[in-house]
Amino acid sequence: AQSVAQPEDQVNVAEGNPLTVKCTYSVSGNPYLFWYVQYPNRGLQFLLKYITGDNLVKGSYGFEAEFNKSQTSFHLKKPSALVSDSALYFCAVRDIADSNYQLIWGAGTKLIIKP
């Protein structure tokens, strides 16, 4: 069965430090992987996706994510955190082998950037 895990409910980072939000997945085929961000009282916004090719994917607001097939991970990273990055982050996966094309969502990770 397909699944995606975000092992940390909350991540705390000091402003200016690098940040990592973790995501691991389980699919039977190859994955399409996505990151979304939700600011307070807003809808989700697409950040970036991995489809194929280069394992390092760059997205909006200076975020990037690294696809690691052997570790079945797709961690979200940013070299220098901003207070404005504080938000809820969702990882999602779609299994290419799933004929229903279901998008499976993680539970979300709350990122808090302290000044």
Partner 1 sequence: DTAVSQTPKYLVTQMGNDKSIKCEQNLGHDTMYWYKQDSKKFLKIMFSYNNKELIINETVPNRFSPKSPDKAHLNLHINSLELGDSAVYFCASSQSWGGTYEQYFGPGTRLTVT
Asked if residue 3 binds partner 1 (CB under 8 A), the reply is: no
Residue for token digits 């607001």? 61
Q: Which of 34, 63, 67, 74 binds partner 1 (CB under 8 A)?
A: 34
The interface region with partner 1, picked from 11-19, 30-38, 63-71, 73-81 by CB under 8 A, is: 30-38
- The closest of 71, 82, 76 to 35, measured between CA atoms, is 76
Measured CA to CA, the distance from residue 23 to residue 106 in angstroms comes to: 8
Residue among 15 and 49 whose Cβ is closer to partner 1: 49
Q: How many residues contact partner 1, by CB under 8 A?
A: 22
Q: CA angle, 2 as apex, 59 and 43 as ends, to 5°?
A: 45
Could you say which residues in the range 60-99 bind partner 1, by CB under 8 A? 88, 90, 94
Measured CA to CA, the distance from residue 83 to residue 115 in angstroms comes to: 6
Q: Which of 14, 51, 83, 97 binds partner 1 (CB under 8 A)?
A: 51
Contacts for 31 with CB less than 8 Å, ≥ 6 apart: 25, 50, 74, 93, 94, 95, 96
Asked if residue 42 binds partner 1 (CB under 8 A), the reply is: yes
Residues that bind partner 1 (CB under 8 A): 32, 34, 36, 38, 41-46, 49, 51, 88, 90, 94, 100-103, 105, 107-108
